[in-house]
Amino acid sequence: MKQPVNIRKALRSFRFAGFGIFSLFRHENNARIHLIAALLVVALGILLRLSNLEWCLVVIQVGLVWAAEAFNTSIEKLADVVSPEYHPTIKVVKDLAAAGVLILSLSAVIIGGIIFIPKLLALV
């Protein structure tokens, strides 16, 4: 038999996730850089009147980069608790997590270029 949905528990989960988002952008420099970049992209998208499909692609890329940054930060903080001193394997784990953010960020830049460069060139 299915358990009924526990609204209080779900709302609490959303509150914890919201705190995580706030903490990410408040305490993590790279997340703030991604936030500023996203705000600039949104402003440019409004000015250039992106199509619905273009907006979907931009929103997906922004969300993926932010999620990757959150995962990366989580892995780094957990690794610091597990091994406060330098450990070569922990270094590799942190480097791999950071690589994930870089890969997604480069993907976002490429997709942004595909969307924005032709529109900017058309203005010139």
Per-domain boundaries in the chain? 7-123
Give pairs for 22-29: CB < 8 Å, separation 24+. Answer: 24/66, 24/69, 24/70, 24/73, 28/69, 28/73
* Residue ranges of the chain whose pLDDT lies below 70: none
Q: What is the pLDDT of residue 11?
A: 93
Q: What is the pLDDT of residue 6?
A: 86
Q: What is the pLDDT of residue 4?
A: 80
Scan for tokens 């091994």, then name that residue.
83
Report the CATH architecture of 7-123.
Answer: Orthogonal Bundle (1.10)
